[in-house]
Amino acid sequence: MRSLIDIKELSVAEIEALLDRADDIIANPKKYAEVCRGKKLATLFFEPSTRTRLSFEAAMYELGGNVLGFSEAQSSSAAKGESVADTAKTVSCYADIIAMRHPKEGAPLVAAMNASVPVINAGDGGHNHPTQTLTDLLTIRREKGKLSDFTIGFCGDLKFGRTVHSLIAALSRYTGIKVVLISPDELRVPDYVKKDNLDDCGIPYTETTDLMSVLGELDILYMTRVQKERFFSEEEYLRLKDSYILTPEKLRSAKDDLCIMHPLPRVNEIPVAVDSDPRACYFKQVLNGKFVRMALIMMLLEVEA
């Protein structure tokens, strides 16, 4: 039995297989409509979510399965002081697979060590978010036709942005990738993310505070929200929240085939006026997220079409 806590638990070949499966689900949805009949997914969300939780639930329904769970810690026994380990043991009695989001880094790993069913990390604090990464990889592959030989810029809150950490980890294993890290000094990518991935894999990267000085070089721009809930001081959040706003005017200096990504939710870093730009890919990411989670649920439940 396998869980998915960190994207690096999947080999490159396994990622390719998941993305191939997602492509096949998109092309032939009927083939998959019954494969999880009788199976239950529990979504245990101790932190807010729209896309991740609902796409997991939609994914399980589209596979013919059922869903149970909670969407806030306050409505679970966590509010009475129950541990993550006990919650995981309990839910294992009711569900065949668990997707868990938690504000504490490592909580889904603790759940996986105590559950008797597979556990998927649906985001743990400022740490990791492997299923968003599968979503992002599927989007890049569908837009660019490949997962190699491009320059990707990550912009915004690279310190607390867990989607950034997981995507850097995944892309570090492909060839011809160049990374540009664009953030205020206070929100730079943590050293461990750079060392364990970019440095260890020999991925060339640069760091800058100036989006406009690098925008024209990028094939992919991965924008992020400043993660208000992870700041210790409101004052610091207010000072940094408007660091990067991607306006249509700024995008004039970008490549014609730039792929603009964002895990969403956005606050104001991408104005609505950009949505009609053909280079905007963030709502495609939303849709892809459901298909890749269908592929992942099938893999972890070991069901075939």
What separation in angstroms does the CA of 42 have from each of 11, 105, 302?
26, 20, 17
Among 151, 163, 166, 243, binds ligand NCD (CB under 6 A): 163
Among 159, 225, 290, 293, binds ligand NCD (CB under 6 A): 225
Indicate if 262 belongs to the active site.
Answer: no
Indicate if 165 belongs to the active site.
Answer: no
Measure the CA–CA gap between 300 and 263, rounded to whole angstroms: 23
Q: Left, alpha or beta for 145 (phi > 0: left; psi -120 to 50: alpha)?
A: left
Assess 241 for contact with ligand NCD (CB under 6 A): no
Return the number of the residue (35 or 280) whose C-beta is nearest ligand NCD: 280
- CA dihedral (37, 17, 135, 61) in degrees, to 10, reads -10
User: Closest residue to ligand NCD, Cβ-based?
Assistant: 263
Q: Which residues lie below 8 Å from residue 275, measured CB to CB, with a gap of 6+?
A: 283
Indicate if 52 belongs to the active site.
Answer: yes
Indicate if 293 belongs to the active site.
Answer: no
Indicate if 135 belongs to the active site.
Answer: no
Q: Please, which of residues 81-120 interact with ligand NCD by CB under 6 A?
A: none
What's the closest the beta carbon of residue 129 comes to ligand NCD, in angstroms? 5
Q: How far is CA 196 from the centre of its chain?
A: 19
Return the number of the residue (52 or 87) whose C-beta is nearest ligand NCD: 52
What is the chain's percent helix, strand, coil content, to nearest 5? 45, 15, 40
Helix (H, G, I), strand (E, B) or coil at 134: helix
**Site track 257-286 with ligand NCD (rule: CB under 6 A), x = hit:** ------xx----------------------
Residue ranges in contact with ligand NCD by CB under 6 A: 51-52, 123, 129, 132, 162-163, 225, 227, 263-264
